[in-house]
Amino acid sequence: MLRIGIDLGGTKTEGIVMDGAGKILLRERQLTPQADGYQAILNTIRNLVLELEKKSGASCRVGVGTPGALSTRTGRLKNSNTVCLNGQPIRQDLEELLSRPVRCANDANCFALSEALDGAGRNGVLVFGVIMGTGVGGGIVLNGKLHEGHQHIAGEWGHNVLEPNGPLCYCGKKGCVETFLSGPGLAREWRAQKGAAALEAKDIVARAEQGDPKAEAVMQRYLDRFGHALSVVINILDPDVVVLGGGLSNIARLYTDGRDHVARYVFNDELRTQILPHVHGDSSGVRGAAQLWNPAE
Ligand SMILES: [Zn+2]
């Protein structure tokens, strides 16, 4: 059966139709009407699904990747940075609107699933998928199955406290991994230097590559923190593959110098875990949403 994946993003909502072999047959995009509120977002998803079904000529399974996660206690969405979604029973509402079962998962979990099934982690048994972008998230896939956890927070290493006196995080704690390893976190670290003009993450990386000593010092701290933060996850999960996604995953040194820092911190005399860049790029979230359904279901 064909599967529709929907990736509900802060600015755009994307939908695909995927066949049993994992091939994308159709793709559609619409702006996420965040300012118009929850009902408008539901309607956007419904319209995308109906349009994709009309074009494919088949009725499809539907999976949705959301910012935030569904509470296992209430069935309502929590921890979403698209704030009008918080507290809403989005899966239940979509099931009513579309008259069929709908599966939902956190967008970082969709990324992890996609990369584990047919991406960079396809040969892995236990895959930890990491998003490092505006925020920092993660997801765990074991034997091709998503592990969401008892409270649907499995893999959320972005809010492990790395340095208790660090910057305040939006979650209310201080010094979360996200406050250091996200794009805004890297930019903040740069700005904290005396006389530094505001730069974006990618420009700081470029300056370090050109030999700017200040930028290099910021990058050294970034790579060290990456190693420290990821070693904590590896000591618990011991995954065979870690796949990195999100804008910051394009930093080539994460896979060399960053990896050396992980090895230095991890509780073993060697690091055999593979740390790999994503294969599916921006498509991994929407692919993983479709892959919440097996082709045989
Ligand atoms: Zn936090």
% of the chain residues with pLDDT over 70: 100
Q: Which amino acid is at 155?
A: G
Token code pair at residue 102: 């709908």
Are 138 and 108 in contact by the 8 Å Cβ rule? The answer is: yes
184 Cβ contact partners less than 8 Å away, ≥ 6 residues apart? 134, 201
292 Cβ contact partners less than 8 Å away, ≥ 6 residues apart? 5, 63, 103, 104, 105, 110, 113, 146
Beta bridge partners of 147: 140
The CA 229 to ligand 1 mean position distance, Å, reads 13
d(CA 102, CA 64) in angstroms, rounded, equals: 7
d(CA 135, CA 233) in angstroms, rounded, equals: 17
Q: Residue written as tokens 């419904």?
A: 46
The CA 108 to ligand 1 mean position distance, Å, reads 15
Buried b (16+ CB within 10 A) or exposed e, 26-42: eebeeebebeeebeebb
Predicted pLDDT at 281: 85
Predicted pLDDT at 173: 96
Helix (H) / strand (E) element for 106: namely strand 102-106
The CA 73 to ligand 1 mean position distance, Å, reads 21
Average pLDDT of the segment spanning 153-158: 96
pLDDT band at 195 (very low <50, low <70, confident <90, very high): confident
Neighbours of ion ligand 1 (CB under 5 A): 159, 169, 171, 173, 176
Token code pair at residue 65: 């990747």
Q: Which amino acid is at 47?
A: N
Q: For residue 165, what are the CA distances in angstroms to 112, 194, 266?
A: 30, 20, 23
Render pLDDT for 29-78 as a digit per residue (tens, 0 to 9).
999 998 999 999 999 999 999 999 999 999 999 999 999 899 999 999 99
Render pLDDT for 113-132 as a digit per residue (tens, 0 to 9).
999 999 999 999 999 999 99
Q: Which amino acid is at 48?
A: L
Token code pair at residue 8: 């509900």
The CA 96 to ligand 1 mean position distance, Å, reads 34
Q: Is the pLDDT of residue 10 over 90?
A: no
Token code pair at residue 24: 């994308």
The CA 175 to ligand 1 mean position distance, Å, reads 7
